[in-house]
Structure 1
Amino acid sequence: MTDVITGPTDATIIAESLQHPDRFAALYERHATALYGYAYRRLGREFAEDVVAETFIAAFRGRSGYDVERVDARPWLFAIINREIARHHRTERARYRTLQRVKHEHGEESLADRVAGAASAEAWRDPLANALAKLSRKDRDVLLLIAWGGLSYDEVAQALQVPVGTVRSRLNRARRKLREALPDYSSREPR
């Protein structure tokens, strides 16, 4: 699912950006839409832009460590965005724990708590979201990198730094668990 790239390779852009930082913008122009689509599906519109921005900031800062033997930076960028999404989830969980602690300390639910609770309940109402939430992070990452990120098995293996066989087994396990969790939808094979 990789688009045909015209012009310099990602590796060339990254290498040139070490001497000419403004050239890194070409990498953003080339990959931001795909990363945004992936983040949007994982986090929603509210957080997707921020996570994509943080991804490119991290990529820019870490570009000197990029292996220029890898001409396509997609797996590298998707590895970074996965870390940023995980960081977002950790921060969000900590925020909810703090809200919960404040609620118990004061013995009443504030308007902010009620709104946050309603928003969370709405976001998780969809059976698919519930089923995805029950997958292990490793299985979910493989499934979503393929389904929403459009990466190949090889690209996912590079992004997660695991063998292709591990990608295949995690994807198989994730699909099986989704079929079990969503029996009404099991007649359709996930992509």
Structure 2
Amino acid sequence: MYDRYARAVFRYAAGRVGHGHADDIMSETFLVAFDKRDSFDITVGDARPWLFGIATTLMRKHSRVEAKAWKGLVADGAAAVPVDAIDAIGSRIDAEVAVKAIAVALRKMPTRDRDALLLYAWADLDYEGVAQALGIPVGTVRSRLNRARRTLRAASHRGPTPELEVEHGRSDVAAETA
């Protein structure tokens, strides 16, 4: 199981808490999974939702680390602006403001909504996978993702973002925007 899913768990953790802490989260995830291996339903073909659920729970415990990572995301966005690109200064400023606003919105978003969004977007789970990872019904996943999307739209001061909703080639959210 480790060989099959370690990279995916690491990528998900790195996206949320940074590479410096992702190894710890990944390692702890597999330690917890080993301890709780009797609770895993072997008839389920994909262990990712179960493992991402464990990782998400561990990251909640490390919420201060995640908050620092979001602040770092904002700082990285500001530091990545090339000085010699004078022609695009208006666009850069708009992008920087948008990145900060979205990072702040993600940081302030209720944990349950942020977890659902990040499992969907960064762990590339479908609605059923997010539901399994968080131990909640699929309808609750839909509600949480809807709230998270509305929060991000409001933060970015833009209209609907269909590219975010079908980014992973999934059509399960396209109907919600209609």
TM > 0.5: yes
**1: CA distance, partners of 2:38 / 2:140:** 28
1:132 pairs with 2:106: yes
Deviations 1:3-41 (CA, angstroms, capped at 9, x unpaired)? xxxxxxxxxxxxxxxxxxxxxxxx111111111111111
Structure 2 partner of 1:150: 124
Deviations 1:100-132 (CA, angstroms, capped at 9, x unpaired)? xxxxxxxxxxxxxxxx9xx98544444232121
Change (3 A) 1:187 1:165: closer
Change (3 A) 1:63 1:163: same
Structure 1 partner of 2:25: 51
The amino acid of 1:153's aligned partner reads: Y
The amino acid of 1:188's aligned partner reads: T
How many residues are aligned here?
A: 140
Structure 2 partner of 1:74: 48
Structure 2 partner of 1:84: 58
SS at the partner of 2:161?
A: coil
SS at the partner of 1:154?
A: helix
Task: Flag structure 2 segments of 5+ consecutive residues without an equivalent.
Answer: 76-98, 166-178
Kindly indicate whether the alpha-carbon contact (under 8 Å) linking 1:131 and 1:182 is maintained by their aligned counterparts in 2. Answer: no
Change (3 A) 1:88 1:72: same
1:36 pairs with 2:10: yes
The amino acid of 1:145's aligned partner reads: L
**Sequence identity (%):** 46
Structure 2 partner of 1:188: 161
User: What RMSD in Å do the two structures reach over aligned CA positions?
Assistant: 2.3
Deviation at 1:61, TM superposition (A): 1.2
TM-score, length-normalised on structure 1? 0.66
**1: CA distance, partners of 2:150 / 2:71:** 26
Structure 2 partner of 1:164: 138
Task: Flag structure 1 segments of 5+ consecutive residues without an equivalent.
Answer: 1-26, 97-115
Deviation at 1:65, TM superposition (A): 2.1
Change (3 A) 1:59 1:177: same
Deviation at 1:68, TM superposition (A): 2.2
Structure 1 partner of 2:35: 61
Larger Rg: 1
